[in-house]
Amino acid sequence: MIEASCHCGAVRMEIEAAPAELLDCRCSICRRLGALWSYYAPRQVRITSPEGATFIYKWQDEVLEFHTCRTCGCTTHWAPVDKSHDRMGVNARMMAPEIVAAAKLRVSPGPG
């Protein structure tokens, strides 16, 4: 089990395992966020944050919701709008640097 949190600590995540691989996605939003994504099934990630600690950003076809801490501005994770989808993304920048360093980095050009 590993832990991740935003800078101020309002959003904390307990994650089943460290990521083996991270995705540096270059799509229009991820390149702006500077996020490194690790992917999990939602059941593998326990998020403890007060109700309303994050704001949600959705765009275009609104498949994903990006969660950002209202206090410190860190984008912590994304979740599928359709909760039957068994995949979510955790921004590995919220994890300890040694966890990020140990993972294999993959670069995706993204859809634009």
Residues that bind Zn ion (CB under 5 A): 6, 8, 10, 69, 71-72
Cβ closest to Zn ion, residue 44 vs residue 71: 71
Give the shortest CB-96-to-Zn ion separation in angstroms: 16
Closest approach, Cβ 64 to Zn ion, in A, equals: 20
Non-local (6+) Cβ contacts of 61 within 8 A are none
Q: Using the minimum distance from each CB to Zn ion, give the nearer residue, 65 or 110.
A: 65
Of 17, 16, 77, 28, the C-alpha closest to 49 is 77
Strands (E), 31-103: 37-40, 45-48, 54-57, 64-69, 75-80, 88-91
Smallest gap from Cβ 68 to Zn ion, in A, equals: 9
